[in-house]
Amino acid sequence: MKTIGLIGGMSWESSKLYYEFLNTKTKDILGGSHSAKCIMVSVDFAAIERLTFKGDWKAIGELMKRAAQQLERAGADIILLCTNTIHLVSHYISENVSIPFMHIARTTGESIKSLSLKKVALLGTKFTMEKDFYTKTLSNDFGLEILIPDTSDRQVVHDIIYNELVKGQFTSASKQKIIEVIKELQKQGAQGVILGCTELPILISELDIAIPIFDTGKIHAYKAIEWSINN
């Protein structure tokens, strides 16, 4: 079994789930008392958040590069970035380490294609929904048509993520708002919905909506365990 390196803390609410996902999947595959071999470098999210809203992606990239290099020095065999939005600067990782980097949009795309879906909705921060670092991978590499909410609904989702979810607040009112956004996208033809913020699946589950959901963090972690065991 190979050692998985995790860059976490963005936010710790979802990073803790990565540890659970990795170990649950390991036990499912290997049975017995097996658990995942992993290392985590967890950053201070307040600093990342401040730089994000300043638009200083270069500084964020440098922080990610240093975290990735720290993981490589610690003995990681592969690196996962435990967040969707910060994949905007994932090239700072892939270009500055000699070990593989597993991109969350690619693992998500593979999962969607396995269900033969063609048109899916994407929810996340405004950065994830509006910039092309995520949608380009899904469209170009997997032939998917991506739907995003309208301007006002994008702001609603973004604000719920930053004002509530990353701070550990999960309310029924916000859950209902997200469900309404998803239902509107379903009316536009969405066959499934990507929960492209790793905190969103804490708020929304497959029991809440009628179309498949794609829990990006869980998909990411499960793919990493399969890689770890098979390589």
What pLDDT does residue 154 have? Answer: 97
pTM of the predicted model, to two decimals?
A: 0.95
Across the chain, what does the average pLDDT equal?
A: 97
Q: 209-222 pLDDT, tens per residue?
A: 999 999 999 999 99
- Calculate mean pLDDT across residues 30-39: 97
Give percent of the chain above pLDDT 90.
Answer: 100
Q: Which CATH number fits domain 105-215: 3.90.950.10, 3.40.50.1860, 3.40.50.1820, 3.40.50.720?
A: 3.40.50.1860
Q: Phi first, then psi: give them for residue 39, nearest 5 degrees.
A: -135, 135
Burial class (CB in 10 A: 0-12, 13-18, 19+), 59: middle
Q: 171-225 pLDDT, tens per residue?
A: 999 999 999 999 999 999 999 999 999 999 999 999 999 999 999 999 999 999 9
Dihedral, CA of residue 92, residue 197, residue 166 and residue 50, to nearest 10: 40
Which string of DSSP letters, residue by residue, matches 180-206?
A: HHHHHHHHTT-SSEEE-STTHHHH--T
Closest by CA position to 84, among listed 11, 20, 140: 11
Angle between helix axes 216-230 and 104-113 (nearest 10 degrees) is 90
> What residue ranges of the chain are covered by domains with CATH 3.40.50.1860?
4-103+218-230, 105-215
What pLDDT does residue 230 have? Answer: 96
Confidence bin at 147 (pLDDT 50/70/90): very high
- Residues forming the active site: 83, 197
